[in-house]
Amino acid sequence: MEMKLIPHDQIPRELFLEIVHEIGNYSVALARITGDDVTSLQILGSGTCVKRGTLQGILTAHHVLHAHKPPVRLGVEGPDRIIFFAKSGRTPGANQATLIERPIGVPIGNGDYGPDLTFIPLPLDSSLRGTCSFWSLDQDPAQVIRTFAIDRACTVNAGYPALKYETIVGEKTVHANVTLQGGAGALLQGDIVQRGEWDFINSECDYNAFPHLISTFQGISGGGIWSALLGTKKGSTKLEVIRLGLVGVNFWQTGIAGGKRLIRGHFVRSIYERAWVR
């Protein structure tokens, strides 16, 4: 299959939806319900299902759990129940005491360069394990960079906008339909930044090319940044996805100017390597 670098604003809509659909297999929305009050449902942010060795869990931004009032506190007794909304429509959850958090990077100062990353290991009996796909982080980060961090590669920012969901509230249950949103840009020279132990990706989100995108970033935080390599089979002109790879976890954004927004996330070495160094 021959790889082609196609401007992100010229990717056929059907192919882009196919990319977002595939990313959805690894993506969840995080929410909480306090006590028995099902109307207290609050979308916290987004996350990516990952695995590393024998661990499976959710990789997300640290502030997704800690920027809310009151902050989410895992591993302690309390009234919160954490819910994971998956593409399949299933909503596995767990009481806050049965989940733990492994902070990886705690924000410093204004947080524009983080670090801002955390991991939530899933209990062995979590039904999310059979609901979502889990992206393997057991990969050589140098190889991931060589494969996916190429000039003008299409980058896709994926997450669940907090304003784009519908709930059906019962006496003791709540059902929510959440919509995964994907926006794209192009990876350019200078978009990868190294600061101390952490590397970052500055990923453009082009609202001119994707006018359907909701202007708020609320709820998208903690979602994955993916690189999509496109190409054609021999003798065909039809574009297809050659490779799709997780290259970042977003945590910060600018406002929209000229129809574009800059989204910053932790890059490959931070999430494949630095996150697991003790």
Domain ranges of the chain: 2-276
pLDDT value at position 12?
A: 85
- Evaluate the omega torsion of the peptide bond into residue 103 and state whether it is cis, within 30 degrees of 0: no
Identify the sign of the CA torsion 254, 193, 114, 34.
positive
The 10 Å Cβ neighbour count of residue 141 is: 18
Point out the least confidently predicted range of 69-78, 105-114, 208-217, 262-271. Answer: 208-217
Query: Taking the model in full, what pTM does it have?
Result: 0.90
pLDDT value at position 194?
A: 94
**Which residue in this structure is represented by tokens 């990516």?**
48
Mean pLDDT score, 166-192: 69
Q: Strand, coil or helix: what is 58?
A: strand
pLDDT value at position 4?
A: 66
**Which residue in this structure is represented by tokens 């790889």?**
3
pLDDT value at position 103?
A: 94
- The yes-or-no verdict on residue 170 having pLDDT over 60 is no
Q: Strand, coil or helix: what is 217?
A: coil
- Model confidence at 41, in pLDDT bands (50, 70, 90)? confident
**Which residue in this structure is represented by tokens 């989410």?**
72
Nearest to 128 by CA among 84, 179, 158, 95: 84
Q: Which tokens go with 200?
A: 């970052």
Percent of the chain with pLDDT over 90: 36
Point out the least confidently predicted range of 40-49, 98-107, 182-191, 195-204. Answer: 182-191
pLDDT digits (tens, 9 = 90+) for 121-142: 998 878 788 888 999 999 999 9
Point out the least confidently predicted range of 40-49, 111-120, 163-172, 212-221. Answer: 163-172
Residue 147: in which H helix or E strand, if any?
helix 141-148
Strand partners, 157: 183, 225
- The yes-or-no verdict on residue 81 having pLDDT over 90 is no
